Amino acid sequence: MIATLPTAADLLPLLPELVLVAGAFALLMLDLFLDEARRGVTNTLAIVLLLVVAGMAFAGTGGQGTVLGGMFVRDTMADVLKAAACVVTALSLVYAWPFLRERGLYKGEVAVLMLFATLGMMLLISAGSLVMVYLGLELLALCSYALVAIDRDSALSSEAAMKYFVLGSLASGLLLYGMSLLYGATGTLDLATLHGAIAMSQERTLLLMGTVFLVAGIAFKFGAAPFHMWLPDTYHGAPTAITVFIGSAPKLAAFAMAFRLLEAGVGPLSAEWRLLVAALAVASLAVGNLIALAQSNLKRMLAYSTISHVGFVFMGIAAANAAGYAAAMFYAISYAIMATASFGAIVVLARNGYESDGIDDFRGLAARSPWLAGMMLCAMMSLAGIPPFLGFWAKLAVLRAAIGGDLLWLAIVGIVFAVIGCFYYLRVCKAMYFEAPPEGVPAPRPHDRILRTAFGVNALALLGLGLAWNPIMAWCQAAFPG
């Protein structure tokens, strides 16, 4: 039988990815002809490109379907997550420009690397094959390693990049080994075929071992405990503007990877893997919240809080039903918005030579800049899960999903650690409103209106979406109609 080449019509579901990769290569070439004074052109065009691609994904341009022999799947979940990832990355670029330019770190490759990282996320989100999962994951990872190391003269950034690279490579190896075991047991790389072949396979030991390695690889990429050792050092060591990106958008792709591998791939083994995911959720909630209590550096505190939020995402995944996946997806989107706001506040307050990444740097902020303190308050309240902010509804959704999935004990653990987590978020609020400002602190940026406007919209979105969260939840539920 002679294979036929795909036509242009067959590739229409790939249209957002094709536009993004064409735009990324065009910007890479354009940047060769721009001097340092015009680097902002590359950044601005990258933001426009991301918003265009987000609009294409949201509008369903090109239509849904399966192409490339089943390797690429475009469905409702993919469109929603791709639109969210592009918007969050565009917001990260807004934060990155003034921060990196002020320190002489902004090069054209920053925007291009973020574009290719976003392409990796989009491929990962639409993966229908183990090959596509690995391709998207490595494209995202390699770009992220380079972004963390963008400040080559900083020993802290170089150390963070090396740890990220070594441990990220280990995670990729674990994931690849798990995939090879599954292939050996079923003889297929296609996730849909793998799902059906598990029931007929006689190699149950291989299947279970492969699934364990898959879960370990997913936990590494999420930064879930006890596979979290890279995350605090990477978030702390990377330039804050880069932390905004790596701490937000990739979590959307990580959720999609978990769903594609665990449900679409090894779904028949859910009785086994959901217990592993539930155990990782408990470990992440405990480690993230308890260690965050002892942090004085705000970036490290937010890094450990990220681990605790991963625990809530895993709580929804552990339910292993449509309601659980919708809740976990809603939480991942909500956290991406919250993470950009919380790390973005550090960017807004920072100056060259003053990183403002300590909790003490926010002391008396309400007296110095009531507006900035109010926006930071929105971010902290949402992360803590205080109503009516977006984070409250996200936590409530995964807790309800856990209860609906017969995991009442896990929901109780989640509630206990959510209360514990409130302490360190409220400590930041206390420093802003009830403590005297430290001496020698520069005034907040009064002149960068674009940055301040973006931060204001980002922070106020946590309140606005908290009051009108139903549309986002409806999109997430439409992605999992089962």
Residue 103 has pLDDT above 70, yes or no: yes
* pLDDT tens-digit series, residues 369-388: 899 999 999 999 999 999 99
Which tokens sit at 195?
Answer: 């799902």
Question: 443: pLDDT confidence band, cut at 50, 70 and 90?
Answer: low
3-state class (DSSP) for residue 74:
strand
pLDDT in tens, 121-147: 999 999 999 999 999 999 999 999 999
User: What b/e readout covers 36-46, taking b as 16+ CB neighbours within 10 angstroms?
Assistant: eeebeebbebb
Per residue, what are the HEC states of 316-369?
Answer: HHHHCCHHHHHHHHHHHHHHHHHHHHHHHHHHHHCECCECCCEHHHHCCHHHHC
Assigned domain for 6 exists: no
Task: Give per-residue pLDDT as tens, 213-233.
Answer: 999 999 998 999 999 999 999
pLDDT band at 202 (very low <50, low <70, confident <90, very high): confident
User: What does the pLDDT look like over 346-369, one tens digit per residue?
Assistant: 999 887 767 788 898 899 999 888
The amino acid sitting at 177 is Y
Domain of 206 in residue numbering reads as 11-479
* Number of compact structural domains in the chain: 1
Measured distance CA(386)–CA(377) in Å, rounded: 11
191/1: higher pLDDT: 191
- Cα separation, 389 vs 461, whole angstroms: 9
Q: What integer is the mean pLDDT of 419-423? A: 94
Q: Is the pLDDT of residue 465 over 90?
A: yes
Is residue 4 in a domain?
no
Among the ranges given (167-171, 204-208, 447-451), the one the predictor scored with the smallest mean pLDDT? 447-451
Question: What is the per-residue pLDDT for 4?
Answer: 58
Our measurement of the distance from residue 183's CA atom to the centroid of its chain's CA atoms, rounded to an integer in Å, reads 28
In a domain, 302, yes or no: yes
Domain presence at residue 362: yes
Of the candidate ranges 99-113, 126-140, 242-256, 285-299, the one whose mean pLDDT is the lowest? 99-113
What is the pLDDT averaged over residues 153-175? 91
Is residue 106 predicted with pLDDT exceeding 50? yes
Residue that the structure tokens 């979940």 belong to? 77
Q: Is residue 471 assigned to a domain? A: yes
Asked, for residue 108, whether it belongs to a domain, the answer is: yes
Work out the average pLDDT over 29-55. 90
Mean pLDDT for the stretch of residues 151-161:
90
Mean per-residue pLDDT, 456-472: 94
Domain assignment present for residue 2? The answer is no
* Section 6-30 average pLDDT: 88
Q: Is the pLDDT of residue 1 over 50?
A: no
What pLDDT is recorded for position 447?
Answer: 59
Residue 3 included in any domain: no
When pLDDT is averaged across residues 38-63 and rounded to a whole number, the result is 93
